Structure 1
Amino acid sequence: MSENAKAEPWIPGEHEDDDAKCPVGLVQQAWIESSMLWFVDQFGKDVVMRDIVPPTRDFLPDPYFGKDHEVADLFFGKMWQRFEPQVRQVLLSLDKAQGEQGHRKNGARAVGHYQVKDGVPFVWLDPRLASDLIYLVAVMAHELCHVRLIGEGRVDPDRKDQERLTDLLTVFFGFGIFTTNVALEFEEADRRWKAHPIGYLDEYRLNAARDNGVRCLGYLDEPEFGYAMACYAWLRGETYPVWAKHLDPGPRLYLKQGLDHLSAEARPGEFPTTRQGRVSIRIVSGDPLASLPLCLRVPRRDTG
């Protein structure tokens, strides 16, 4: 999307009844709202009040040639300054062979990975990410959120919703435009459905790409990301965020619906499900959030 992209205007509060419905289910809504408030407690309200990070030359390096040193400069420069990790050091690797050897899960090829080695946070990035700055920033944001959550001991790495919480934190830190913009178009070709990316991020998304007809889209779906962006705007006191022009049409619609819902159901800066006596949520073994679909399944070729 260009820097001069325009969003369809809307006025939250002036809507049909259906438009005021939350774009996600009650469990997801309560989880998103309570998690955003937990982020405020953990990282401070000033973080969410910073300018959102735009997918433009205002933030992205220009010129940029995808060299290893440029990737490292971005990670330890603008990205590091934005996230302000409270750890002494983080190791960064762009070794392709290392990714091929150790970063596969359930047949999926990882494009980013976080772990702790000898007590030091370690981030691996697929060097092929360097060719797409938008994709690269999204993955960097996800991994740096791991550093802030797991590396700083804020959450247990075995927590059931840990990956989803990491995706949500990218929104809180202002990188939601990058991690939200993923959309797929389907067309039938040669008796097989094929996925074609529309938005900034392609079908590999944040963590993987499968070669067996399944395309992994990440840990939050479009309605969840759209509502998370609405909660982000609501915390900032924005009812018509000008940055919405940078979102793809699908997430932008969910953002609109989310703001309509919040305008109808909550007071400024508060959330509907977190009011006393409404809804409480806790993450336990077997929590339904852990089993939500994370992949878009594409029918395989009929070999019969």
Structure 2
Amino acid sequence: MSERRETPPPWSPAISTECPVGVAHQAWIEASIAWFVREFGREPALRPIVLPRLDLYPSGYTGTPKQIDDVVARMCGLMGIDRSELIVELFDREGEDATASEGTRAVGHYYVEDGRAVIGLDVTEASDAPYLIAVIAHELCHVRLLGEERITTGRKDHERLTDLLTVYFGFGVFSTNAALRFGETSRGFSVQPLGDLDERTLNAARNDGYSRLGYLTEREFGYAMACYAWLRGETEPPWAGHLDPGPRAFLRQGLAYLTRSAPPGEFPTRPSRGVPVTVRVISKTGPAWLGGLHLTVRPASWPPDAPGHGPPHPV
């Protein structure tokens, strides 16, 4: 007599069912996404997720100004932004002396000029379409948050919130994978992290070892993607394979935790009565929002995106 075989869970039994982020980070992510639902409705989270494919950038894409403008226009359409009201500035800082700016260079910015939103994009690595899309998504989320006066720069976590909104609007695969980038160097491979893709100081670091900067870590992005999938009713999201190994492991851990801890489509953290929650996240170097982006450098032999090798679990 054959035994009935149960369908295995969408995550490995070896993956922990504990929340992949600390209590404060969890509360901030969940409360912020709940606020997005109230501000923007559920539609952005329920439509098809945006993946690296030719409907955003054409075959033979090389990063010409016309191609970049076409990408911006398509993304504006997906994010509910009137492209005619947006000014796009392209700049090239390839020749900048990195050491003069402490090993970083700006790759994007946002401001308002004569009542019109302006986003600036560094074209140095514009031929890398997924990377460019991550930068554009962040800047367009500034338009939706700051430009539409939903928040102000006085909110200390506004950059973190902007990163998180890219997930809610379906661009999380690009933002999450851009948080940690590898580039070939004469000494092997180096990591070029983007992290928070910050308003005036979106940074790309070039080091022969491992380095990380920004406000949202792989662990936080992974849990944010889990919350995004949970809102969509996806316990085994088909798009998970598009994520890099590290955040993909945190996504699966987050889904395992949510399945154990909350009803479908709801979050474990108690509602904040409609008020956006600002959580002060403290590290050994002090508040994450002080002094710009936090950069950590590690030896190149360290495997930063292997499961279990993410940033220290916050307390």
Distance 1:298 1:13 in 2: 30
Aligned residue pairs total 277
Give the 5 Å matches for 1:119-268: 119-182=115-178, 183=180, 196-197=190-191, 202-204=192-194, 206=197, 207-210=202-205, 215-268=211-264
The AA in structure 2 aligned to 1:11 is P
For the residue of structure 1 that corresponds to 2:26, the secondary structure is helix
Give the 5 Å matches for 1:24-39: 24-39=21-36
Q: 1:281 to 1:24 in 2, by over 3 A?
A: farther
Give the 5 Å matches for 1:2-17: 11-12=9-10, 15=13
Could you say which residue in structure 2 is the equivalent of 1:282? 277
Distance 1:10 1:54 in 2: 26
Contact 2:142 2:162 in 1 (8 A): yes
For the residue of structure 2 that corresponds to 1:260, the secondary structure is helix
Q: Deviations along 1:227-271, whole A, 9 cap, x unmatched?
A: 000000000000000000111111110000000000000000110
Q: 1:131 to 1:270 in 2, by over 3 A?
A: same
Are 2:54 and 1:60 equivalent residues in the alignment? no
Q: 1:54 to 1:185 in 2, by over 3 A?
A: closer
Contact 1:12 1:263 in 2 (8 A): no
Q: Give 1:115 shift.
A: 1.2
The AA in structure 1 aligned to 2:213 is L
Contact 1:220 1:294 in 2 (8 A): no
Distance 1:222 1:270 in 2: 23
Q: 1:153 to 1:178 in 2, by over 3 A?
A: same
Q: 1:10 to 1:163 in 2, by over 3 A?
A: farther
The AA in structure 2 aligned to 1:295 is L
Could you say which residue in structure 1 is the equivalent of 2:306? none
For the residue of structure 2 that corresponds to 1:70, the secondary structure is helix
The AA in structure 2 aligned to 1:55 is P
Could you say which residue in structure 1 is the equivalent of 2:308? none
Structure 2 alignment gaps of length 5 or more: 1-6, 300-315
For the residue of structure 2 that corresponds to 1:94, the secondary structure is strand
- Percentage of identical aligned residues: 47
Distance 2:271 2:207 in 1: 45
Could you say which residue in structure 1 is the equivalent of 2:305? none
TM-score between both structures, scaled by the size of structure 1: 0.79
Q: Give 1:47 shift.
A: 1.0
Contact 2:31 2:271 in 1 (8 A): no
Structure with the higher helix share, 1 or 2: 1
Question: Highest relative contact order (Cα 8 Å, sep 6+), 1 or 2?
Answer: 1
Could you say which residue in structure 2 is the equivalent of 1:4? none
Distance 2:103 2:269 in 1: 38
Contact 1:10 1:256 in 2 (8 A): no
Distance 1:243 1:65 in 2: 25
The AA in structure 1 aligned to 2:262 is A
TM-score between both structures, scaled by the size of structure 2: 0.76
